[in-house]
Structure 1
């Protein structure tokens, strides 16, 4: 028997159940993972806060995890090739990562880069693929200056590093208490608040080619529209309604095109992390049994890095 967090009703994490469940033996094309760390993301609670089309209770929680292979189905290889019992792996775009053990599609399981700690590996791919898609849809290129709203957050930090790989220069909005984090990952920080457009213009010393919004405030989108003339080079991951009105991009993991892109992006992100060129700052870890406490801390909005659950 395994222990797993499940939403048995729609609502806050406090309503979830930490249940004993049977872990099905892996069939062909499946892998059973003994979880050593589960990534913690806002999507984990947002997606079960209210009924959604196609979502049936109970819903196992958790989209990404790291662990070791406990069993592998017949004639099956993991996505990165091979795979035997005991191998260290990372899995993303799975369901049920908040668990001691989980059986998942082998196509979503990859060898874990040895240099990554389990709690880092478990938090790499959701924010990493989101950041990669934001850079992709805005066509960010070498030598350009771009604006990132919320640069000190988890997605923002991944954007900073991936933009550096592309050769782009990043101006990132943040609170002054988070400026050091933005600088650490290669960005030029500016404080959000009144006068933001003027501060960005002064810092840019030239055109702002694209704007990437991870916070969804009116200020973020207003300033993006003011500074970036080409609306196809503005993207938000928060405010879909405003995006539709303004003719800018909005990307979300549930979109079929997002799913296809993010699946394809996983090997490259693992390569970057494995070589040390993409880091995952981890602020805190919690015991798996304290998942609601971890999410309550995440909801405060300033964790200072990623959170992980440790069985």
Structure 2
């Protein structure tokens, strides 16, 4: 019998955890998982408790918090490898949380975030709780990073070590959010380029895309796919049209993973094999291109 740590299921979970670790731990500073052990020892536990409560109240919130962190990290980010835990990055800095000011238009109203970025109130609640314990110590950027990890775990996904000590940004960029965050209309080459620009391989990009096993998307994000594309299961497309008409209903929601939208598993990849990817960019991962083999591996939990 194969050992537990070498089982196919754990291989997939390990790779997803490692890729999320790379995403979540990019920064310019030297970070440490024990950064707050002396200055705010209850911070991490407080974040976890609040996330568990939020996800228990609304499972979708887990996906929203993960997406919030991804969109925060992907803006103005560039990764240079000096050592395994040392990166150069101008993302993962909490800039997505900033409201507009007289001198700055923030990222909340960027096309990828407007009417879709969620979880701000959860982060605000956590920040208030942590501030009551340790005023002025824990950064919002760290809260978002830990909340993303805890959200995945709460929905049955892998855990990973989050390195702490990020500094909060005092500025944000609407234009960078619009240009940096991958659009749901990208084809495979565009996806590979977008992630390569941040230091990720195509394999890591496919693994990160597996986070679409949770969460939902607005009709505007997939309308063109379900009405105009041919590489889509016809029954699947028909079922989606009932909730996403050709005109109107822009904010109607459909799960990214129709099989198990509140469970962090590999059903997303199995759906792609059946031409049931909700977004154009999802199905591009399995459409006769270079990433088909990786999707096949993940759908079998192999992830080699």
TM-score interval w.r.t. the shorter chain? under 0.3
Scaled by the length of structure 2, what TM-score is found? 0.24
1 or 2 for the larger relative contact order (CA 8 Å, sep ≥6)? Answer: 2
Scaled by the length of structure 1, what TM-score is found? 0.24
Structure whose residues are more often strand by fraction: 1
Structure whose residues are more often helix by fraction: 2
